[in-house]
Amino acid sequence: MPRKPLSQIDIDSFRSAYCKTAYELYQRDDYESVTMRGIAKVMGCSPMMAYRYFENKEDVFAALRADLFHRLAQALEEVPLTLEPLARLEVLGRVYSSFAHEAPHAYRLLYVVNIHQAKKYPETDKAQERTRKVLFEAILRAVESGSMQGNPTLLAHTFWACIHGLVSLDLAGQLTQGHSFDELLPTMMKSLLAGSRGI
């Protein structure tokens, strides 16, 4: 008897459950330890069944990363546009760091874990670009208002790199020079924003 065609609901439901299980295993162990067979075992399904939905583990984590990037982007997009440009950038920095501290495994999966990609994943790239767009547009607004000076693209990249660096050091337990993340973040933000005004 021919296999019954899968509905889109069936496909989406299985993919969601499979990704959820993969993420739970990643949180418990690490990325390298997760396998297609191991995910299937936890789900109680045939190891081969997953290959009807995903080509390999890389595909699974690409889908996971797309979802997590969208979550981060949504949190950033909720920062009010009505805030003064520099004040909005400060809030964006806090929201970004809060996401990292509230979901450290998610943050590491987005920016720290080295995932070899043998092919392009447009959906993941699109989701990541959504996060970049929020920051770039906030920087552009600050430059256009005269609150900041410089190339918006370069400023946005510098702004992100500094916050990411501080967050990564904190998550790795490397802030051991006598000052906490909560002390360093506002100091760093003030320095970044003051410097960008040409002061």
Confidence class for position 102, pLDDT limits 50, 70, 90: very high
State yes or no: pLDDT of 189 exceeds 60.
yes
Mean pLDDT, range 66-82, rounded to an integer = 97
pLDDT of residue 1: 46
pLDDT of residue 199: 41
Mean pLDDT, range 81-97, rounded to an integer = 96
pLDDT of residue 114: 80
Mean pLDDT, range 165-172, rounded to an integer = 96
Confidence class for position 86, pLDDT limits 50, 70, 90: very high
Each residue of 138-160: pLDDT tens digit?
999 999 999 999 999 999 999 99
Mean pLDDT, range 108-120, rounded to an integer = 84
Mean pLDDT, range 178-194, rounded to an integer = 93
State yes or no: pLDDT of 198 exceeds 60.
no
Domains in the chain (CATH in brackets) are 1-54 (1.10.10), 58-195 (1.10.357.10)
pLDDT of residue 10: 78
Of all residues in the chain, the percent with pLDDT exceeding 70 is 94
- Mapped to the 3 state alphabet, what secondary structure does the chain carry? CCCCCCCHHHHHHHHHHHHHHHHHHHHHCCHHHCCHHHHHHHHCCCCCHHHHCCCCHHHHHHHHHHHHHHHHHHHHHCCCCCCCHHHHHHHHHHHHHHHHHHCHHHHHHHHCCCCCCCCCCHHHHHHHHHHHHHHHHHHHHHHHCCCCCCCHHHHHHHHHHHHHHHHHHHHCCCCCCCCCHHHHHHHHHHHHHHHCCCC
Mean pLDDT, range 16-35, rounded to an integer = 95
